[in-house]
Amino acid sequence: MNLNKSSAWSESEVCSFLASSTIPMRVATNTGSYPTLCSVWYAFDEPQGDFICVSHENSQLVSDLLANQKCSFEIAPNDPPYCGVRGKAMATLSKDYALETLSAVIPRYLGDTESRLAKWLIGRSDEEYVIRLRPVQLTSWDYSERMS
């Protein structure tokens, strides 16, 4: 993990936050005159230190990442005390294992794969890309003490 020395949390604290958080990841891309920001569900592959997410083949996120693999990301709650993880990453995209990846990511956010939304997402898995974000820079911040 390429954790910045000024990070508020240790590597184990960052891993714990990322593994337990169900806050969608915000991914920023830039291929045109303006950046694009997209929220996606993710799973954290702790042994590799990578983020895994899935997006539809026609999405702006997929289009942007196919054109430019560099992106930035953030995982942080919207409510105080403000804290979270952000960084820069290189993306790789693949059509392989979309069903398996969806089946792993969906329960993290929906609890299971039985809802109408889950079944709809799984039903179009052949139209999805698996996106693996490999962080090249990572940091965390935690304003708990100053906000208490």
- Per the domain annotation, does 88 fall within a domain? yes
Instruction: Output the pLDDT for position 144.
Output: 79
Give the per-residue pLDDT at 12: 94
Task: Name the one residue in this structure whose structure tokens are 């303006």.
Answer: 34
Q: Is residue 116 part of a domain?
A: yes
Is 6 among the domain residues? no
Q: Mind listing the pLDDT tens digit of every residue in the chain (148 residues)? A: 889 999 999 999 999 999 999 999 999 999 888 999 999 999 999 989 999 999 999 999 999 999 999 999 999 998 888 999 999 999 999 999 999 999 999 999 999 999 999 999 999 999 999 999 999 999 999 987 777 7
Q: What is the DSSP string of 9-63?
A: S-HHHHHHHHHH--SPEEEEE-SSSS-EEEEE--EEETTTTEEEEEEETTSHHHH
The rounded distance, in Å, linking the Cα atoms of 1 and 45 is 11
Is 4 inside a domain boundary? no
pTM given for the model: 0.93
117: in domain: yes
Residue 131 structural domain: 11-147
Within a domain: 1: no
pLDDT, position 35: 94
Please report the pLDDT score of residue 33 as a whole number: 86
**Looking at residue 134, what is its pLDDT?**
97
Tell me whether residue 70 is in a domain: yes
Q: Provide the CATH number for the domain around residue 125.
A: 2.30.110.10
Instruction: Give domain status of residue 57, yes or no.
Output: yes
Number of domains present in the structure of the chain: 1
